Amino acid sequence: MSVIFTARGAFILVTLSLLFSGFLTSALILLFDPAGQAFLPSTLIVGELLLVVPLIVILTRNTVNLGETLRINPVSRRTLLLSVLLSCGIVAWADELERIIALIIPPPQWLDQLGQFLRVEDPLSLTLIFIGAVPLAAFSEEVLFRGFLQQVLEKQWKDVTRAVLVGSLFFAFVHLIPYWAIQIYLLGVIMGYLAWITNSIFPSMILHGINNGIAFSFANWGDFFEGWYTWNGHVSPLILAIGTTMTIIGFKQLNRTLTPVLES
């Protein structure tokens, strides 16, 4: 068995992939003129793509089935729809959790500056940032963490719960934003569960993408959410009630649908 399919090897490979992406993206910013409006959004896309390059190259050299190794397995349309249903509810509660934390611990100023990066008026830049921050980020990060790392930990440790919890902790740590650590960790746990129970990263990608998509939408069209989504600085109780119902129904139906598969 190759060392990359051990727990230590998997952690090292994921860490190297993150460093590879970070260093090359930083080099692009330093070497080229970032004055153009589309330059920085383009580097976001490049950075997300580079996340999976070392992993795919190494796995290809090991002549493994990439689809199975990275959990890029097809799922039914019903599973996808249920994933969308429960993800919308979870994201609403994750948003409310962040608002509650902000009442206890005021967010640092630099976090607002980070949000400014997502807020643009140029249509091309807006499109590029959306592509990089929503579908690409969801795909690359789920391939890396839920597709590869968590699956290796599950097989090595023979303990799914431990694999999901530790993998999610590492996922939260590498985001390097302590203020969001709780939300990222909890979302990571749910995404890990979805990837495990469906044996596919597509459901976790949906949750990841919806979460990032809501953040992107708030940054650019925050006024749209006033009055129906937000209420006195919080998520509307009606939205939370609907979200809770969607999440419960989604999980119940998903577990009912997939239980026979897990037992077979």
Mean pLDDT of 154-160: 96
Largest Cα–Cα distance of the chain, in whole Å?
Answer: 57
Q: DSSP state, 179?
A: G
- List of long-range contacts for 7-11, beta carbons under 8 Å, 24+ apart: 7/152, 7/153, 7/156, 7/157, 9/152, 10/148, 10/149, 10/152, 10/153, 10/156, 11/149, 11/170
Tell me if 119 is assigned to some domain. yes
pLDDT of residue 113: 76
pLDDT of residue 111: 84
Mean pLDDT of 182-206: 97
User: Residue 151 belongs to what domain range?
Assistant: 71-263
Tell me if 41 is assigned to some domain. no
What band does 260 get if pLDDT is binned at 50, 70 and 90? Answer: very low
Tell me if 7 is assigned to some domain. no
Tell me if 4 is assigned to some domain. no
**pLDDT at 264 exceeding the cut of 80:** no
Tell me if 153 is assigned to some domain. yes
Mean pLDDT of 147-159: 97
> What are the structure tokens assigned to 155, written together?
């097989």
pLDDT of residue 62: 86
d(CA 132, CA 237): 32
Beta-carbon contacts of 237 under 8 Å, excluding residues fewer than 6 positions away, are 231
**pLDDT at 259 exceeding the cut of 60:** no
Tell me if 12 is assigned to some domain. no
What band does 37 get if pLDDT is binned at 50, 70 and 90? Answer: low
What is the pTM (predicted TM-score) of this model? 0.93
> What are the structure tokens assigned to 173, written together?
């740590």
pLDDT of residue 1: 58
**pLDDT at 258 exceeding the cut of 80:** no
Could you read off the pLDDT of 219-228 as tens digits, one per residue? 999 899 998 9
Tell me if 136 is assigned to some domain. yes
Tell me if 19 is assigned to some domain. no
What's the structural domain count of the chain? 1
